[in-house]
Structure 1
Amino acid sequence: MGILNITPDSFFTGSRFSAPDDAAREARAMLKEGAKIIDIGAFSSRPGADLVSEEEEWDRLKEVIPAVAQVMTEFPNTFISVDTFRSVIADKAINAGAHMINDISGGNLDPQIYATAAQHKCPYIMMHMQGNPANMQKNPSYQNVTTDIVKFFSEKLPLIHELGVHDTIIDVGFGFGKTLEDNFQLLRELKAFQLLGRPILTGISRKSMVYKPLESSAAQSINGTTALHMAALQGGAQILRVHDVKEATETVTLFTHLMPQGIDHLLPIWER
């Protein structure tokens, strides 16, 4: 999953593309490098970020999604994900050409998003976040981060299934209301989430859990990101949400040689 941010303030400047032509060009480049999903987001969810208005979020997306959708016609079996927690934005995005919803709040900020996903019969990515982007890194606390988040999903998934959301992907939410130690515990214990029986997406790319231990920066964290991507794959991740598609594709290729069964058996049906 290649990251395409339509924002002026996302934490990694290399993922920012606001003009439709520029966004389409970047999407084509990522697809050529092996991306199967392009995740388009119009608000920054970095720690401490302010929420943009619904009107501004859609204004950023409304021309970019059709432009990227046109590019997708050149690449069979590829998909657009809209990164939003707002049901109204998700509905408009699906109607404009997106195929799935990536919700950083897991429905906590707008529960109506479940009905939107059910109405469109589209895949829904449910991420765990403690708090919201403005306050999530202010003293996050868990009894046990792994068991607490397993419980979160085990309670949420049956509820949204009853509402008609059947194609669900889970994301533990690295960096979203987690300490550095929490992040590494989750990565170390990622296999625990396989018990939920849903595909696992991980978003580790260039985050502070990569560059802080290395005393580096987001711009200099590609090697560390690659190392943790391999750990995520070994822990059962089926989708890597990344800024650097070529490097991630190479990591997946090497993982398939390392593991005799490869990764295809882990992928959701729509991505095979």
Structure 2
Amino acid sequence: MDSVDAAGLGIGDQYPPRIMGVLNVSEESPYDPSVYDDPGEAARYVDEQLIDQGADVVDVGLESANKRFEVLTAQQELERLHVAIETLESVSGDAVFSIETRYAAVADEALSQGFDMVNDVCGFADPEMPTVCDEHDAAVVKMASPPDLERPGAIEETDWAECKSEEWVREADYVDMVYEALKQNGLTEKTIVDPAFGGWSEAQTLADDRETFRRLREFRALGKPMLVSINRKNFLGEIADRETDERLPVSLAATSMAVERGAHVIRTHDVAETRDAALIGAAFSEQSTTTRDDVTVSRLDVGSTRELHAHLAERDVDPELAADWVHHAFEIDGLTADERGVLERVAGESGAVWIDLASGRSLLVGSTAAIERVAAGIRDEDGRLSVIEDELERRTR
């Protein structure tokens, strides 16, 4: 896992989780508590509500992400940039300042005027963005997005058949598309990846966000630090049946889980609370990287076949080997003696291990490939064995 130096702020496995607070100088959302168009008021907000509360990074947005508004041109963003620059000059606290923009010209001007990093919600749709960031030696957050400056995050609208292949499209699911979107147009040495949570397109569903969050560790295979923006998002509110202003508890629970699953930066409007939740997640995460005597050992964050598959593919190793290397263990209870006999026979034929335990329970252990062969071997069996087949297939993916 590469680390990123963002103007002296280390971001990566060997650093604590970083908190990105949000300031908007867009005039489209006047009731948003983080929106300011006066540099003095904006600076006070940044000092008191962001930096003093624990923000390591302040992300300044020039326009609303709300799809109801028309996308600003680069020139319109440049006309607003003076408010952001004057705010930065008036802030007394110490933080890394990020400019949220999709345009390389805006990023270039902001970085020239004192900003430290870039948050690109269009994922390098502007082909000059990586070059600009490299020239300024600036860290850049790359959000998963199609290569279109007017459709940030609309991952499903990408012509994946052209980018990948028709066969890939038939097999890919939403999270696969997010992963590939992050790879489109490359990654700089200082890229931080963002899996694009939230309603960026009409096609994106709450189930898509839940599945992306569940499989968050897969994105670590890209070898770059990861940012997640999940603060008060709808996919969390739906689980707890809470409206936006009541979603802080679910956001904090998800923050701890995100850090434990490999997130390095949490973007939030609730800085102090999110900082605490992130520290809890970090405290109970296993250390992934250790360096001693100039030797570094990194444990790949692998808890499923999919995760190992991603790591192998990024290293040009046959990903199908994942099925032989990832092992699973299942405890099964409630079977009759005849049903246990069938499973013991099929397990032995499939290269898995079947162990009878006390009180009628049994243990099934084997590689992904072996367990898949067990599932195939009992596919035509009647009764409760079909339930076991379904569970084995579902849990080895």
Q: 1:46 aligns with which of 66, 77, 91?
A: 66
CA distance in 2, matches of 1:124, 1:140: 24
Q: 1:7 and 2:33 equivalent?
A: no
| Residue 82 (structure 1) shift | 0.3
Kindly state the Cα deviation for residue 22 of structure 1 after the two structures are TM-superposed.
1.4
Does the C-alpha gap of structure 1 residues 139 and 260 become closer, same or farther in structure 2, counting only changes over 3 Å?
A: closer
Aligned pairs for 1:243-258 within 5 A: 243-258=269-284
- State the partner residue of 1:116: 132
Alignment of 1:6-85 (within 5 A): 6-10=25-29, 13-29=32-48, 30-71=50-91, 74-75=93-94, 78-85=95-102
Q: Distance in 2 between matches of 1:154 and 1:54?
A: 24
- Which residue number corresponds to residue 269 of structure 1? none
Letter in 2 for 1:68: L
**Residues 36-89 of structure 1: CA deviation (Å, up to 9, x unaligned):** 0000001111234321233332232213224224425x42xx200000001111
**Contact 2:25 2:83 (8 Å CA) reproduced:** no
**Which residue of the other structure, out of 166, 180, 194, is the alignment partner of 1:171?**
194
Deviations 1:122-150 (A, max 9, x none): 11111012566669679869831222222
SS of the equivalent of 1:62 reads helix
State the match for 1:99 in structure 2: 116
Q: Is the 8 A contact 1:62 1:93 kept in 2?
A: no
Q: Who is 2:221 aligned against?
A: 195
Which residue is equivalent to 2:343?
Answer: none
Cα shift at 1:33: 0.7
RMSD: 2.9
Identity %, equivalent residues:
24
Question: Would the aligned equivalents of 1:187 and 1:231 in 2 still touch at CA under 8 Å?
Answer: no
Taking the aligned partners of 1:231 and 1:221, their CA distance within structure 2 comes to 16
Equivalent-residue separation in structure 1 for 2:89 and 2:281 (angstroms) = 30
Question: How far is 1:12 from its partner?
Answer: 7.5
1:49 to 1:129, Cα distance in 2 relative to 1, 3 A? farther
- The count of residues paired between Structure 1 and Structure 2 equals 255
**d(CA) in 1 for partners of 2:91, 2:153:** 35
Distance change (3 Å), C-alpha of 1:121 and 1:135: closer
> In the superposition, relative to structure 1, how do residues 6 and 36 fare at CA in structure 2: closer, same or farther (>3 Å)?
same
CA deviation string 1:93-127 (max 9, x = no partner): 1111110110001012x222122112211111110
Give the Cα–Cα distance (whole angstroms) in 2 for the partners of residues 41 and 135 of structure 1.
Answer: 14
Change (3 A) 1:150 1:262: closer
In structure 2, do the counterparts of structure 1 residues 264 and 168 end up closer, same or farther at CA, with 3 Å as the change threshold? farther
Q: 1:88 aligns with which of 89, 105, 116?
A: 105
Q: Deviations over 1:212-262 (max 9, x none)?
A: 444433233212211221221121100000001011111122223333649
> Where is the strand percentage greater, Structure 1 or Structure 2?
2
Give the gaps of 5 or more residues in structure 1.
266-272
Larger Rg: 1 or 2?
2
**Whole-angstrom CA distance in 1 between matches of 2:246 and 2:32:** 12
Unaligned runs of 5+ in 2: 1-19, 159-168, 292-397
3-state DSSP class of the match of 2:91?
helix
State the alpha-carbon separation in 2 of the partners of residues 93 and 236 from structure 1: 30
> Does 1:149 find its partner at 2:160?
no
